[in-house]
Structure 1
Amino acid sequence: MPDDVRSMQCDDPVGNAMMTNDEPSLDIVHALDAAHVALVRLAAAIAAAEELVVRGALARAAECCPHEWVEEVILQSYLFAGFPRTLNAAREWRKVSGRPAPGEDAGERFDDAPRWSEEGQRTCRIVYGATYERLRHNIRTLHPALDAWMIVEGYGKVLSRPQLDLRRRELCIVAACAAAGQDRQLHSHLRGALNAGAPLAEVSAVLDAIVDLMAPQNPERYRLLLARVAQHDVH
């Protein structure tokens, strides 16, 4: 289905997909259009929701989003939700979309590791800004392999893929971390989304869009966290 036709079918924030009873309306998340609401809700569902909710989020994304975006959000989910949830989401996506897997992909070519390292360092610097060097030091003190994998595998091979821009990737990472209750990583990626060019209103709208997918005590906590991050960046 052409992307313009797909987006026209998304004017109704409810649509035909399975969703939770408390899903917010587009009036609440006005800083994001229907496609981006569907995308960040998919990222959150893969990270933390039960299979029925993931299936509904995939169906909604199939209606609203360019399918290439959906594939990239599924692929990057293994960094934040692990392989089991990512494999389950990919399996459901093939059923929901009817879209076959590509015959080949650049991610198969491990001789690209030097390029992934270079691109990973560049992408990670954008996300972490002035705290990049401290991040690298801190992760290396945990284990040097984790530092290398973070750059080459995470920020290079996965998050530097050109099929989805970094701003959208970071908005989806915010959604995944918030839904999973990963406070430390959420703190970093709230700032990362802003550093990648997302307006504050968009980042705030991500939290509004997934409020029903978070633990009940977390929406207000995370709004306050975002306010502190934004205030720190301003000053």
Structure 2
Amino acid sequence: MLEPGTRALLGLAAALGTRDPARVRHAALQAARHAVPAAVEELLLQSHLFIGFPDAISALATWREVSGRDAPAALNEAAAAWAARGEQLCASVYGGNYTRLRANVAALHPEMDRWMVEGGYGRVLGRPGLDLATRELGIVALLATWGAPRQLHSHLRGALNAGATAGQVDSAVELACDLLDAGRAAGVRELWLGIRIRREAA
């Protein structure tokens, strides 16, 4: 269901969630062979939203080593554009749950709500270089191996809202499950199956 470049990208995303340097290196080598380099750069950049700066920086260092590519030029976007772009993108991903999401996160802390929309969606996920559906599929693969079921639930739905097909989500889930033990893999598959059944019945 996935062409080789996208499969390599999602394999790298899944490896990032394991925090296993050997798996990340192997997946980065596959990405260097099959994926568009600019897409790999974007996947690695967005990973810091989920795995943090230390692991994202380590992954970028591995990518530089195995790909032999220098860092690209900075995008240097105006920060003023991030809020509006973030609101539009976040609403696309969360659909009918967008207003409730914003209220729930703001209730935890208003700055977290602002950072999520302006920083996460506007500054990072709204960048050019990788389409939203592929970004969301990468997030699904990463969160499945990282072990964040609540966020995984949101982004499984978000991938569909962003235009990914159910078959593409199937593939992202299975790439992640290949790196998990049987119990965790069963939980991820069960979560996705429930979402898929409800979506198809709607």
Aligned to 2:133: 167
1:223 is the counterpart of 2:189: yes
Aligned to 2:97: 131
Q: Segments of 4+ in structure 1 off by > 6 A? A: none
1:197 is the counterpart of 2:197: no
TM-score (norm 1): 0.82
Aligned to 1:80: 50
Match of 2:87 among 104, 121, 125: 121
1:186 is the counterpart of 2:152: yes
After TM superposition, the structure 1 = structure 2 runs for residues 41-56 of structure 1, keeping only pairs within 5 Å, are 41-56=11-26
Alpha-carbon distance between aligned partners in 2 of 1:223 and 1:33, rounded to the nearest angstrom: 22
In terms of Rg, which structure is larger?
1
Alpha-carbon distance between aligned partners in 2 of 1:202 and 1:209, rounded to the nearest angstrom: 11
What SS is found at the alignment partner of 1:153? helix
Aligned residue identity for 1:43: A
Deviations 1:111-170 (A, max 9, x none): x22211101001100100000000000000000010000001000100001110000000
Aligned to 1:232: 198
Deviations 1:76-124 (A, max 9, x none): 0000111111000011111111111123322xx5xx2221110100110
Match of 2:73 among 103, 111, 116: 103
What SS is found at the alignment partner of 2:164? coil
Aligned residues between the structures: 201
TM-score (norm 2): 0.95
Aligned residue identity for 1:32: L
1:158 is the counterpart of 2:128: no
Aligned to 1:210: 176
Match of 2:5 among 35, 40, 55: 35
Q: RMSD value over aligned CA atoms?
A: 1.2
1:61 is the counterpart of 2:31: yes
Higher share in helix: 2
